[in-house]
Structure 1
Amino acid sequence: MDATIGDPLLLASVERAFEKQPLPDFWEQATPRAMIVAVVLSVVFGFVTLQIQMSTGVVPGLNMPISVLSFIFLKWFVSLLRSCGLPGSEPFTRQENLLVLTTVTTVGNLALTGGFALYIIAMTSTVAKALGETNPDPRDIVDNFPTGQWMLFLLLIGLMSVLTSVPLNQVMILDYRLLFPTGTAQAHLINSFHTPHGAIMAKIQVATIFKFFFGSFSWTAFSWLYASGKDCGFSSFPLFGLQLYKKRFFFDFSATFIGVGMICPLMVNITFLVGGIASWGLLFPFLETKSGQWYHTPSPSSLAGINGYKVCKTKHPSLNYDDRRRIEVFLENKIPASLPVAAYGVCAIICGVVIPQIFHQVNFLHVIAMYIIVPVVALTNTYATGLTDWNIAYTYAKFTIFVVAAWVAKPGAIIVALVSCGLVVSALHISSQMTQDVKTGYMTLTSQRALIMMQTFGVIVGSVLTPCIFRAFQRSAKANVPIGAADSEYPCPYAMLYRAMAVIGTGGVKELPDHCLTFCYAAAGFAVAVNTLSVVSQRKGWKIQVYIPSVTVLALPFFIGSAVAIDMCIGSAVIFLWMKMNSQSAAILSSAVAAGLICGEGLFALPSALFTLFSVEAPMCMKFIHSGKQVDLADSFIRNMSTPAKP
């Protein structure tokens, strides 16, 4: 008798439910209809992404809306083909669904990191004058960037991103077995869309996903009503009091990161919280007492101020049927590491020749230096994304601006620094997102080769499409108010910050606050010591290995605050209590609950983006203030507010 009969985890197996469906071959996954739908959605999300980024500087994550819309568009397109009696009207698969998603996501990420609202706009005289540069050196200005050169530049950095990600895929997904929480949630969502009829346990999981999906979406929509203005709404809820709120310890009611906490190992969540306490609870309050002694600018974003100090493994579960099946398919379609490594070297040489022809301030050595640095940093950035869902490519990019500007330190240094920033931010951001999509592909039995082909297709589409969209916005802008100007319809707020960093960087290390490098060296030494202890303990089989924290996770709260750590620890608490109450139910449904929470809040990014596009603001602002006189002042102000006249 089969010992596995009656095992609820076997009944809950996703791939058992799909077992009777033949696995599509390469060309049944990367189909022409998938490419057509991907191009259509790329145009839509390209416009949305660029307009929001140029208007506000902050773009919400659009992966979940793209997942849902790719499913809807494919379903509609197949119905259209069927009604017209055309070939290609057979039902589409979960693999096609993912390939549309990864193509559109690649286009969107290329739009985000293509410099349209960041480093390319930062090169213009418009931004230079806004910073007070009355007579900027012509060698540090690029006002007219031809569309054809922009397309070529985007194509080169996009291919660099693809080639950076390929060697990381197997390491991150099979060797380290990282979760990539958003990628995992996307896989659950796509699998739920395509669950075969008759899979009873799978249907229960699907129902659970959609219950929490709609609950999370509804809560996020409700929360939005109270978020009109800075630090308004439930996302700034001072659960631990207003004093700790000022130190970034608060609960932001994020369903996404509660869901992430439910599927991340407990050690990761605790390490995240410890990092938050060490940074915002201890180190930064100490540094604030040194204002006027170690640094002399009150700006929280300047590298010359307090911000200058900031930029300076657990047991695996045994392999079940789903794991074995997914590993089998993943390895069948793997790409030999030698191929992308060789292609990366060729790409480096081509870029080293071509990019200096586009930007004359840049030379071959500058480009090659970035190509040497990127794979190393991409490893750490993708590892952080896989552990916690946080991509800190922009932090590395800002640091790159300062270092390269200090390295060159002559007229033209600003342009060299901004171009180097573009290479780094695109390669790191896009490659980590590509590996996340490969994680989704791993969980949906999608060919890794088909994924990489569609990612390359997305790079080609994005490099042609996004500059054209930008030119359309440029032509629609108000006369005599160019993109990047403070009073423009598209002010590109972060472009000014990026140029300011380059300007400061030209002054070299002396522009950093006192003792900044000392803190950097101490942090680096600590990281090396902890990682060495981790490696030795694993080799020796010491029991302490499960208690050694990840330094990468420990460092993240230094950049992003402690609210996320609190959300993730709440997710761990939910799982702990659930396991105590009903371990069987928790084992079967916890991933579905987490996926529903992540997907629901993620889907609200689409209406949020539309609200931003049409300048629709939330109707109310909810804030918290200290008791006593401040309450009386607030009441007095509200009572004296003029009320609108009755019609």
Structure 2
Amino acid sequence: MITEVAPLTGSLIAMDATIGDSPTSVEAVFEKQPLPEFGELVTLRSMAVSVVLSIVFCFVGMKIQMSAGIVPALNMPASILSFFLLKWLIRLLQRCGFAMLPFTRQENMFLLTCVITCLNLSLTSGFATNIIAMTSIVARTLGDDPDPRDIMDHVPIGKWMVYLFLIGMTGVLSTVPFNQVMVIDYKLLFPTGTVIAQLINSFHTPQGAYIAKFNFDFSATYIGLGMICPHIVNFGLLFGAIISWGFLYPFLETKRGQWYQTDSHTSLTGLNGYKVFISVTLIVTDGMINFLTLITTASINFYRLRKEQDSGLTNYIKKHPSLNYDDRKRIEMFLANQVPVSMPVAAYIICAAISTIAIPAMFSQIKFYHVVVLYIVIPVLGFCNTYATGLTDWSVAPTYAKFSTFIFAAWIAKPGAVVASLLASGLIMAALHISSQAMQDLKSGHMTQTSPRAMVTGQLFGVAIGSIISPCVFLAFQSTAKPNAPVGSKQSDYPCPLAGLYRAIGVIGTGGVKELPKHCVKFCVVAFCMTVVIDAIVLISQKRGWRIHSYIPSMTVIALPFFAGSFFTIDMCIGSLLLLVWIRMNAKSAEMLSSSVAAGLICGEGLFTLPSALLNMFKVQPPMCMKFISSGQEVEMRNQGGVGVWIRAMGVGEEGEPGYGAISNRNVAVAALRLSARGRRRRC
């Protein structure tokens, strides 16, 4: 999934292999370049660029998450833009007469770490999931009369900044003691981190630098998103949209008055009950199966590696004389610059103590002993999740978050339990995902000979700026939302589809759902059985080497449109189709440049999101607007200081009535003819 952040596609891994004719040893190319000192890679210029890129990617990531719920891995666009913008800034300053330090891959890696950490904190902050799920807007989508003690509508932005800073620090600090074990001792691949390292190494050699030149396109976010996401994900989303909105929901609509009586679009006793519980069943069942599979695989591999290797690394290089030149150089740098274990352990204990006091003080629904339990289990769960990520490139932090929502709601089981469980799940989600992605970055730093101390510094800086940027970005989206369609509502441009899912799990955990529409449980049982069967087929085919598993999408992917809607699936499939056509025409060009084009499509629109939000916040209106109305009368609509447009809205009903949203070609043609015939009328 996408807060459920998707992994990199296989095509990106192949991209680096096509860049030039690089020698076998990567580090031999950089042998004449001395390793930069700490102050030469943790620079003010890299920090300044990281703040700019963090703002852009936070806007992009949060917008996608709020509207679609699926967020792809943005590591690749971030790596390209970090190289491009910092190198451009250095050239600009040099032309202005300033003496500049050389731009090294280590500084590039520090910059990228800051941006990725800030982005991960933004995506797991909860502003599109558990935080917005606490509001009355989302609560009313699950029931017409929510308990006011389980609602938090107005929380000062400063509280969210403190909350995000604490959970972000928790994620970074909980993983630092395991850096050496994960990267050096057990040699986990961390595929995304490996690919990013190879890309950055290529950027800083003459053969590979040319790939960073691309153009921005200021549109088509979801098409670019479709080009990054694997084809099986995009077409799985489309399949889920067709099954749910094309067949299942129209069938259930015909049962109104027989299986359920209410016409409410928010009550769980009506059609909405089927949507919520079927989607929750599909996602949670698939998550449980994948969770158990990953834990079992990780445990077996961990046991085998533990027997084969000595965790004491003092004489690591002496015990491994067969290490190649690259591995030897990287391990020497890593061991010489590692962070002493006592520092992150002490910092984690201090952070836990502060959180135990501060979080219950800010949010009365959660108690200090709940926070203590969370900080005890986070290092254990974080290790398991990070180890699984190193093997599979997939973080299951969202699964842990869903489980914790249910467990804490059932544990508290009284008014306020839903908010408390959502706060707990937010802490689990952010801490576990940030810790696993921090290890991904550390793997990239290891392969680019970047000091682990500098990497941890970049992660801490990313948490600091992310805790400030994320609430501000969310506030900007709130301020620009339509008054009658606020963030989190199904009519909004930012419906936050996963928010209802998280709140529904909390409600179910407290036992608050007493009535369901007829046959809803039967549909959930069928969904459960189908998920188990399909996941079993995938596991068996993977074990036996059958290719069929490559054509079966994740049930979580299929389930997302059941609750989120189908509006974004076509665009993402168009992105996949464009990439397939491109590969057919020129496979090498597609492999090398598709990620750059997708980055332009996504980030180009993201670059305009900030000024667009600012214009809306200051009530600056566009020079021309067009509106379709249901009265059937010809109306002149004049925008203040802009252009008047005449249009006759025929056959357009109110929302929920036949014809809503269906504008005929004749009406559009009439509007165009009137506009062209009468010309523009400007205010004097």
The residue correspondences of 1:121-520 to structure 2 (distance < 5 A) are 121-134=132-145, 136-195=146-205, 203=207, 206=208, 235-236=234-235, 302=278, 305=281, 307=283, 309-312=285-288, 313=301, 318-507=322-511
Q: Is the CA contact 2:401–2:426 (under 8 Å) kept in the aligned structure 1? A: yes
Matches of 1:330 and 1:415, distance apart in 2: 43
Matches of 2:412 and 2:589, distance apart in 1: 47
Matches of 1:109 and 1:125, distance apart in 2: 26
- Code of the aligned partner of 2:44: P
Percent of counterpart pairs with the same letter?
A: 50
- Code of the aligned partner of 1:350: I
Q: Report Cα offsets for 1:10-56 as digits up to 9, x if no partner.
A: 95100011111111011111111111111111121122222222222
Number of residue equivalences:
482
Change (3 A) 1:159 1:366: same
Partner of 1:40: 52
* Larger relative contact order (Cα-Cα within 8 Å, sequence gap ≥ 6): 1
Q: Report Cα offsets for 1:144-179 as digits up to 9, x if no partner.
A: 010111111111011101101212221211111111
Q: Is the CA contact 1:181–1:386 (under 8 Å) kept in the aligned structure 2? A: yes
- Code of the aligned partner of 2:443: K
Report deviation, 1:309.
3.9
Report deviation, 1:466.
1.6
- Residue 94 (structure 1) aligned with residue 98 (structure 2): no
Partner of 1:292: none
Matches of 1:147 and 1:479, distance apart in 2: 20
Change (3 A) 1:193 1:126: same
Q: Report Cα offsets for 1:90-134 as digits up to 9, x if no partner.
A: 321101111111101111111111111111110011111121141
Matches of 1:337 and 1:76, distance apart in 2: 38
Q: Secondary structure at the match of 2:101?
A: coil
Change (3 A) 1:118 1:227: closer
Matches of 1:102 and 1:332, distance apart in 2: 20
Q: Is the CA contact 2:194–2:447 (under 8 Å) kept in the aligned structure 1? A: yes
After the TM superposition, which of the residue ranges 391-400 and 435-444 deviates more from structure 2? 391-400
Change (3 A) 1:603 1:160: farther
Report deviation, 1:86.
2.4
Report deviation, 1:513.
8.5
Change (3 A) 1:34 1:378: same
Q: Is the CA contact 1:224–1:233 (under 8 Å) kept in the aligned structure 2? A: no
Change (3 A) 1:60 1:391: same
Structure 1 unmatched runs, 5+: 1-8, 198-202, 215-220, 247-296, 524-546, 563-592, 616-640
Report deviation, 1:139.
1.8
Q: Report Cα offsets for 1:255-287 as digits up to 9, x if no partner.
A: xxxxxxxxxxxxxxxxxxxxxxxxxxxxxxxxx
Partner of 1:272: none
Which of 597, 603, 607 does residue 601 from structure 2 map onto? 607
Structure 2 unmatched runs, 5+: 1-20, 215-219, 244-272, 289-300, 309-319, 533-542, 559-586, 610-663, 674-684
Q: Is the CA contact 1:185–1:599 (under 8 Å) kept in the aligned structure 2? A: no
Report deviation, 1:442.
0.2
- Residue 119 (structure 1) aligned with residue 130 (structure 2): yes
Matches of 1:108 and 1:446, distance apart in 2: 21
Change (3 A) 1:597 1:164: farther
Q: Is the CA contact 2:409–2:510 (under 8 Å) kept in the aligned structure 1? A: yes
- Code of the aligned partner of 2:62: L
Q: Is the CA contact 1:62–1:603 (under 8 Å) kept in the aligned structure 2? A: no
Change (3 A) 1:495 1:300: closer
Report deviation, 1:600.
4.2
Q: Is the CA contact 2:507–2:513 (under 8 Å) kept in the aligned structure 1? A: no
Q: Report Cα offsets for 1:191-241 as digits up to 9, x if no partner.
A: 11112x6xxxxx4xx49x969x99xxxxxx9x959979x999995399xxx
Change (3 A) 1:75 1:308: closer
